[in-house]
Amino acid sequence: MLAPPQRQRTLEAAIRDLASTRAATRASAIGDLVSHALSQDAVRARAVPLIEAALKGDEAPEARSAAAVGLGDLRAAEALPALLVAIEDASVHVRQMALNALGEVGDARALSRLERALGDARPEVRYQAIIAYTKIARDAGDVDAALARACGDADDAVRYIALRIAEERLDVPGAPRPSDAVLALARARVENDAPHVALAAAILLAKVGEEPLAAVRSVILRVVRGGSLGAPAPDKEDEREAVEIAGAIGLREAIPDLERRAWGLGSLVRDTCAWHAKIALSRMGHPKASAEILKDLDSTRGETRAAAVVAAGKAKLVAAATKLEGMRGAEGVDPQLVTDALARLKA
């Protein structure tokens, strides 16, 4: 029997439940308190010391983890000392959430501690440290050095997240290209590493825009075809990236598999990355995929039209330029989506 969704506590009820004898209740009360604090500055000033006290003194890791997450959500720079201490918490999860919170807070005073954490003996600390460090550090050379170190880490999860961070930074306006050291490590990883790490490396190298290595094309093709790269299975986000990138690198041998993903019976019952497959096909000049994107630009459904705007830009569908220009300032259309799509066409 399904239970109704739990209603958010009032502010006073959330504060009251911070003293509950049940750890789960205290943890959920922290979450509700954060929600109230995000909406009102006066409540935030009252809430942060209470949440900080829970991070410092609650006996339950569950509640301390919730407190670390909450301080990160509130960008509570005033709780920086408590978060730095929590990096050494007895609980692995609390340590991870404290590091994550430091990245969300974004206070440069944490950099020296994060630099030490990059070389910590515990892989879970190194994993969260590279995420937090790259959010805060402003010097591109320092970031590249940290990413190169993490790309060569002994732990495959750390190598994976470093490659994903390097790839995601490519989408940040004005962000520099990854260093030669990072790209060299990516080339090595795509040919000789755990399957999920190899895929992350392949996605990075493909997005950089170099002539794809044979190994890059091979890894992307196997993912598009739905073949097993080994365990663990590809993350869904990585799979979507790989499907879309097949078009960007002109992987024409993948066209039958992309068509199956876009319009096959399987797309009716499971996530085959159909939208991403259409983008890839259109990028390679596929008439049907391009026609469907153009048609959806005229849809009366806002969600369909918005998806088509994004797809047209990603597919570099020049035939959509006139329609996109006509959508500037149109009612019910996000102007930023249109601007971004047109910029992609011109890039």
Give the model confidence (pLDDT) of 300-334 as tens digits.
899 999 999 999 999 999 999 999 999 987 777 88
pLDDT band at 235 (very low <50, low <70, confident <90, very high): confident
Q: Which residue has the tokens 């006996």?
A: 59
Percent of the chain with pLDDT over 70: 96
* 31-87 confidence digits (pLDDT tens): 999 999 999 999 999 999 999 999 999 999 999 999 999 999 999 999 999 999 999
Give me the DSSP letters along 61-114: HHHHHHHHHHHHHTT-GGGHHHHHHHTT-SSHHHHHHHHHHHHHHT-GGGHHHH
- The per-residue pLDDT for range 134-156, each reduced to its tens digit, is 999 988 899 999 999 999 999 99
Q: Is the pLDDT of residue 6 over 70?
A: no
Give the torsion sign (CA, 212, 218, 219, 221): positive
Q: What pLDDT does residue 2 have? A: 47
Provide the CATH topology of domain 1-73: Leucine-rich Repeat Variant (1.25.10)
The dihedral formed by the CA atoms of 243, 333, 343 and 235, expressed in degrees to the nearest 10: -20
What is the length of the chain?
347
* Distances in whole angstroms, Cα of residue 321 to Cα of each of 34, 152, 200, 326, 333: 44, 43, 32, 9, 15
Nearest CA-CA partner of 254 in 234, 235, 276, 237: 276
Q: Evaluate whether 281 touches 293 at the Cβ level (below 8 Å).
A: no
How deeply is 301 buried, as exposed, middle or buried, from its count of CB atoms within 10 A (0-12, 13-18, 19+)? exposed
pLDDT at residue 231, rounded to an integer:
53
d(CA 42, CA 161): 37
Decide if 321 contacts 342 (C-beta within 8 A): yes
**What's the pTM value of the predicted model, to 2 decimals?**
0.86
Give pLDDT, residue 65. Answer: 97
Domain borders along the chain are: 1-73
pLDDT digits (tens, 9 = 90+) for 187-221: 999 988 899 999 999 999 999 987 778 999 999 99
Segment among 104-113, 275-284, 323-332 with least mean pLDDT: 323-332
Of 104-108, 113-117, 193-197, 265-269, the range with the lowest mean pLDDT is 265-269
pLDDT-derived band at 3 (thresholds 50, 70, 90) equals very low
Higher-confidence position of 233 and 260: 260
pLDDT at 171: 82
Q: Is 13's pLDDT higher than 50?
A: yes
Which pLDDT does position 330 carry in this prediction? 77
